[in-house]
Chains A and B, each alone.
Chain A
Amino acid sequence: MRTGEKGGGRRLVVGIPFLWSGIFFLLPFLIVLRMAFSESAQARPPYRPVFDWSAGFADVFDRLSQLGADNFRLIVEEPLYLEAFVTSFRLAATATILLILIGYPMAYAMARAPARLRPALVALVILPFWTSFLIRVYAWIGILKPEGLLNILLMKFGLVAEPLEILNTEIAVQIGLVYAYLPFMVLPLYAALERIDPTLTEAAMDLGAPRWKAFWQVTVPLSIPGVLAGAFLVFIPALGEFVIPDLLGGSDTIMIGRSLWVEFFNNRDWPLASAVAVVLLLLVLGPMAAWGALERRREEAEARTAAGARP
């Protein structure tokens, strides 16, 4: 397994997982792309293929020349889709900002906690992440609905005269996003903050910097990679989120993951659902590449630290 050693075993170790993700992860995207250019049809499966190889090359070239971008035209022209993309983007971006504001103090407190407590605190953040996502979102229905727990409490303390309409609004979706993705923000933030040497802030304060200035000029800049990692980890999946807007949002809160679902399952329009998927994929490709570059840099730094620690 030494670096530089060549052989069949080595080829298998790379080859098996690579082949699997090539077949079941990369290849399917090409099929989505092909489907996105197809026409919808009343059939099983409900679409007319772009290429029919049985008809020979002439037919394929004929079809290529008039390749239908109708599905994409519909997405661009139909205001509903544009609105879904805008709503998704707005909700995902707001959730990311709120999560940084909530997650940072939490991660900071964890990193400053006595060392023997830290593993337990990390476990407490991870545990909800291990329990069902669906169930955690479902729990909020009982809390937010008009006769739910939140309204009962608010009315008991006389804060509101009548129940607030929160469930089936954008606010409920926003709460759900922040709640469900909190562990994804806290963990990378904690990892970044915990690595920062506390003597750096102490040095700044010994040199006369007030505590807030030491925090702002030393700790915060050093934790930026953690903030970015958390932001990508939250923003990208939130953009295509389906469960949260479906269970907590009303019919007027259309997020793009939900439109894709509706096109596919309710309207059985596979080509249009594929076109929505292609556009969503194009939107997340940039953030995903940025996140990948960030992770690569972190991995290289980790490998260097590990190599340096070795005698």
Chain B
Amino acid sequence: MKGLSRINLVALTFGFAFLYLPILVLVVYSFNASKLVTVWGGFSTQWYGALFRNEALMDAAWVTLRVGLVSATVATVLGTLAAVALVRFGRFRGRGLFAASIHAPIVMPEVITGLSLLLFFVAIDLDRGFWTVTIAHVTFTMCFVAVVVRSRLVSFDRSLEEAAMDLGATPLVTFFSVTLPLIAPAVAAGWLLAFTLSIDDLVIASFVSGPGATTLPMRIYGQVRLGVTPEINAVSTLLIALVASVVLVVSVVLRRREGASDV
């Protein structure tokens, strides 16, 4: 394999510049001393201080974190079950509908998902708040988990499961002692994806949330509508740093483990 040709190098440079420059600008201006976002007034971390004194924002961050942790965990269990059903069970009755209802939420416009869930919660007379947001997030993130886990299940050696069962292990024992350790990296990646999708969601949460369950994206959206402020740049930078570092740590740990198990 040769190195990259010049035209390919240009395509990559432009592509990545387009993807990363706006984020870079945002991060740089979060350290701006001037309140005017586009005028550089020197380096300062004052907006980060202001952030931690902003109680509404801190409350919203706490709600978001809790919703994210709970919904990602439930979504990972449900999504993994769905992936196992799709890959291992061959053709069962209702498989078409099952597969469709697992795939559809991935591309479904968020306004439709949000509105339909809200109307459902109103119809069953469920009080809106933490739990309705969590349920909504489980519903759309479990599909992403299912897709991630499914691609791993398809590619691994099924004879290992068969060997365990030939030796007398029940399907349940086989799953926990053979299958789950093998698909663990995908399950972890699925959890992480569900978590980031949950803490990022604005549209669906806006529909199904209630008093006392304002999430961070809802709070940010409310402030963004009033204009660009260095404080929002600061909270954005923190969120980006958080997600980027978690993703990096997890991928490094997974790669180590993969490397070790290959030996």
Contacts and interface: CB of A to CB of B under 8 A. Distances in A.
B203 A242 contact: yes
A21 B203 CA distance: 19
B1 A140 contact: no
Given A233-B107, A280-B112, A1 B171 contact: yes
A128 B26 CA distance: 13
B38 A302 contact: no
Nearest to B159: A310
A106 interface: yes
A106 to B, nearest CB: 4
Contact of B38 (A103, A132, A133, A149): A149
Interface residues of A, number: 98
Interface string A129-162: 0111111101111110101110010000000000
Interface string B153-167: 011011101100100
Contact of A134 (B81, B109, B217): B217
Contact of A277 (B20, B115, B196): B115
B108 to A, nearest CB: 7
Nearest to B79: A17
Nearest to B175: A1
Interface string B136-153: 101100110010001100
Contacts of A28: 116-117, 119-120
B130 interface: no
B11 A141 contact: no
A16 B108 CA distance: 22
Given A28-B117, A32-B112, A182-B18, 15 more contacts: A13-B84, A14-B92, A21-B101, A31-B123, A108-B8, A110-B12, A132-B199, A134-B220, A239-B109, A240-B109, A257-B110, A260-B111, A260-B115, A277-B115, A284-B108
Interface of B: 1, 3-5, 7-9, 11-12, 14-16, 18-20, 22-23, 25-26, 29, 37-38, 78-79, 81-82, 84-85, 87-90, 92, 94, 98-113, 115-117, 119-120, 122-123, 135-136, 138-139, 142-143, 146, 150-151, 154-155, 157-159, 161-162, 165, 171-172, 174-175, 179, 193, 196, 199-200, 202-203, 206-207, 217, 220-221, 224-225, 228, 232-233, 236, 239-240, 243-244, 247, 251
